[in-house]
Amino acid sequence: MERKNRPQSRAFLIVFASVFLLVGFTLGRKAGDITPISIESAAELIGLSFSPAEKDSMISALTTQRDNFEILRKTKLENSVAPALIFNPLPQGFYPSQDQQNQDWGLPSTVDLPDKESDIAYLPVNQLAVLIKNKKISSARLTKIYLDRIKTYSDTLQCLITLLEESALEKARAMDQELAVGKYRGPLHGIPYGIKDLLSVKGTKTTWGANPYKDQSFDKTATVVQKLDDAGGVLVGKFTLGALAMGDIWYGGVTKNPWNLTQGSSGSSAGSASAVSAGLVPFAIGTETLGSIVSPSTRNGVTGLRPTYGRISKYGAMALSWSMDKIGPISRSVLDNAIVLAVLNGKDEKDPSTIPAAFNYSAKKDVKKLKIGYFKAYFEGDRASKNDQEVLEVLNAQGIELHPLELKTSMNPGPIVNMLLVEGAAAFDELTRLDLDDQLVAQRKNSWPNIFRAARFIPAVEYVQMSRQRSLLIEEMHELMKEYDVIVTPSFAGQQLQITNLTGHPALCMPNGFTANGSPTSITLLANLFEEEKLIMLGRLIQENTDWQAKRPPMFDK
């Protein structure tokens, strides 16, 4: 479908303003001649000015560029095709260790099986694993418990896109048979789980939460799903995401927060976090580009881990921003996320952005030997949260010395985040050019349709300048982070969420209580690149000395 009646000047404005990403975007119409007047209008959009002679001299080159854009657009690019330029978050001279050792989770030798099925449903993975290994519960029974809860509650929460009941029960029975003959795959053997529906699974639809794609399917299975399958995991469902990985609005409605059904689940890993919070699965897979694990984990009162960029393969996942997308687990405990991360970790030849790195966690390591910092200014003043301060009190009570520090960089991360918008506009180029964006439910000024349109006006030169400033930001954050093993910070204070998503640093988002109106809150732990085991050590200490993560939304505790 072609867009009609677009003025000549508008056609060229888009041409000039977006050189790097098909910058001559004409919104589907054939543009007229490029003139000094159209060049002047375009220059105003990007804050530049040219003399009459300079404008006249550019006409021939710009006309050729626009013709080339039309040639480029004749080649259809699937969302899975990444740019030739691969983002690497490693600062100069830094290389992660590849000395992989055996994991020591420190699991108990035995766990009592609760009588009530709701109590079973809310057990963390680390306890369910012991129950299954000791044959106190079968994978088939556990899977049926979660399937029944999904069928009971998913409509209320609007959190489910595809229920995989038949294949889940088949896999669960197979895991029970393997265990019966002495084959045990590890802590995820027979454990049910769900995924965010931007991960492809062969034989199922993968909707990306958006109307234009709600019936699409792929003849491949995402690497993370394949790894979980190999580890014995039982995939029970594909959960909702805000359309194209933003927010909690998808083509079927608004995913709900189990603690407050009048409130959305936040996003974009909305369904994954909501389902874990309501006890529909013990863990689920989410993704984060700029807060899509941290935000719904906070809203739903669950524990989310955003791993280092490059640690986990994105093969088979929808791309929003090739240089910022990250995949990670959402569960009911820090240790659960570590168990899942150990399975997902690793170089993948199908994803050139993956970086080989060991993930070594041992329950025997002394957490008190870690050097712990905290962003002091964010815990003080009128805007400081009592819940955040209480986390510091817990750590002090456990004998942890806390070192105050300041988060300060010479670069403002806000403008650099525009890289995400440019990459997103490229990933969904045809959505804009062919008017498919009109099919998205969310149509506000700050929704994807308008963001993608506006991103076409970001010049290629500015995109490259953002990338160069990002390189400096990486070096500055490395200098700060390498002085500490873990840094404690309020989840949304200052610009840490923007900065660490740009630099690729890992983050652990954990419940730390509730507001006066009963809404969950969270605290975030940060570590240097590929040092997630330190997040797990400190996070586990906090959770073993508090009960915030054990709280259940009352409406779903039955």
Q: Mean pLDDT across the stretch 384-404?
A: 97
Residue 193, domain member (yes or no):
yes
Tokens standing for 485?
A: 């093993």
Q: Is the pLDDT of residue 3 over 90?
A: no
Q: Where are the beta strands (DSSP E) in 86-243?
A: 160-163, 192-196, 234-239
- Per-residue confidence band for 2, with pLDDT thresholds at 50, 70 and 90: very low
Q: Which of 447, 463, 479 is the last residue of a domain?
A: 463
Residue 305 CA, chain-centre distance (Å), reads: 9
> Is-contact 409 476, C-beta < 8 A?
yes
Residue 324, domain member (yes or no):
yes
> Exposed (0-12), middle (13-18) or buried (19+): which is 203, by Cβ within 10 Å?
exposed
Which of 437, 436, 441 has the alpha carbon at shortest distance from 251?
441
> Is-contact 107 342, C-beta < 8 A?
no
Tokens standing for 62?
A: 């710009």
DSSP code per residue over 81-106: ---SS----PPTT----------B--
Residues 340 and 377 in one domain: yes
Residues 240 and 182 in one domain: yes
- Per-residue confidence band for 490, with pLDDT thresholds at 50, 70 and 90: very high
The set of residues, in sequence order, having a beta carbon less than 8 Å from that of 514 and lying 6+ positions away, is: 301, 387, 520, 521, 551
- Per-residue confidence band for 9, with pLDDT thresholds at 50, 70 and 90: very low
Q: How far is CA 406 from CA 52, 417, 495, in A?
A: 49, 21, 12
> Is-contact 207 161, C-beta < 8 A?
yes
Residues 270 and 224 in one domain: yes
Cα–Cα distance for residue pair 481/528, rounded to 1 Å: 6
Residues 184 and 303 in one domain: yes
Q: Is the pLDDT of residue 4 over 90?
A: no
22-31, 141-150, 397-406, 485-494: the lowest-pLDDT one: 22-31
Which of 538, 542, 544 has the alpha carbon at shortest distance from 366?
538
Residue 105, domain member (yes or no):
no
Comparing 5 with 231, the larger pLDDT belongs to 231
Q: Print the domain residue range for 488.
A: 117-410+467-556
| CATH code, 307 | 3.90.1300.10
Please, what's the b/e burial string for 474-496 (b: 16 or more CB within 10 A of its CB; e: otherwise)? bebbbebbeebbbbbbbbbbeeb
SS3 (DSSP) at 486: strand
SS3 (DSSP) at 347: coil
Residues 481 and 457 in one domain: no
> Is-contact 284 275, C-beta < 8 A?
yes
pLDDT digits (tens, 9 = 90+) for 34-65: 999 999 999 999 999 999 999 999 999 999 99
Residues 405 and 503 in one domain: yes
pLDDT digits (tens, 9 = 90+) for 241-297: 999 999 999 999 999 999 999 999 999 999 999 999 999 999 999 999 999 999 999
The set of residues, in sequence order, having a beta carbon less than 8 Å from that of 132 and lying 6+ positions away, is: 138, 139, 142, 179, 189, 190, 191
Cα–Cα distance for residue pair 374/479, rounded to 1 Å: 15
Q: Is the pLDDT of residue 125 over 50?
A: yes
> Is-contact 313 42, C-beta < 8 A?
no
State the pLDDT at residue 32. 81
Q: Mean pLDDT across the stretch 470-495?
A: 97
Q: Mean pLDDT across the stretch 156-178?
A: 98
Which amino acid would we find at residue 507?
Answer: A
Q: Is the pLDDT of residue 23 over 60?
A: no
Residues 399 and 447 in one domain: no
Which of 151, 253, 230, 146 has the alpha carbon at shortest distance from 194?
146
Q: Is the pLDDT of residue 120 over 50?
A: yes
| Tally of helices (H runs) and strands (E runs) in the chain | 19, 15
Cα–Cα distance for residue pair 295/491, rounded to 1 Å: 8
Residue 100, domain member (yes or no):
no
Q: Which of 463, 497, 528 is the last residue of a domain?
A: 463
Residue 111, domain member (yes or no):
no
Cα–Cα distance for residue pair 454/46, rounded to 1 Å: 12
State the pLDDT at residue 12. 35
pLDDT digits (tens, 9 = 90+) for 85-98: 999 999 999 999 99
Q: Mean pLDDT across the stretch 523-530?
A: 98
State the pLDDT at residue 31. 56
Cα–Cα distance for residue pair 362/35, rounded to 1 Å: 67
Domain count, the chain: 2
Residue 49, domain member (yes or no):
yes
What's the pTM value of the predicted model, to 2 decimals?
A: 0.92
329 forms beta bridges with 285
Residues 20 and 36 in one domain: yes
Residue 99, domain member (yes or no):
no
Q: Which of 444, 463, 482 is the last residue of a domain?
A: 463
State the pLDDT at residue 383. 83
Residues 374 and 430 in one domain: no
The set of residues, in sequence order, having a beta carbon less than 8 Å from that of 246 and lying 6+ positions away, is: 267, 268, 292, 442, 447, 448
End-to-end CA distance of the chain: 51
pLDDT digits (tens, 9 = 90+) for 300-332: 999 999 999 999 999 999 999 999 999 999 999
State the pLDDT at residue 10. 38
State the pLDDT at residue 24. 38
DSSP 307: P
Q: Is the pLDDT of residue 401 over 60?
A: yes
Cα–Cα distance for residue pair 378/552, rounded to 1 Å: 28
- Average pLDDT of the residues of the chain: 94
Q: Is the pLDDT of residue 26 over 50?
A: no
Residue 326, domain member (yes or no):
yes
Q: What are phi and psi of 348, to 5 degrees?
A: -130, 120
Query: What proportion of the chain, given as a percentage, has pLDDT over 90?
Result: 93
Cα–Cα distance for residue pair 75/272, rounded to 1 Å: 35
Residues 261 and 309 in one domain: yes
The DSSP H or E segment spanning 302 is none
Residues 154 and 258 in one domain: yes
> Is-contact 235 164, C-beta < 8 A?
yes
Residues 429 and 402 in one domain: no
CA dihedral 504, 476, 98, 83 (to 10 degrees): 40
State the pLDDT at residue 18. 40
Tokens standing for 21?
A: 């990403």
The DSSP H or E segment spanning 304 is strand 303-306
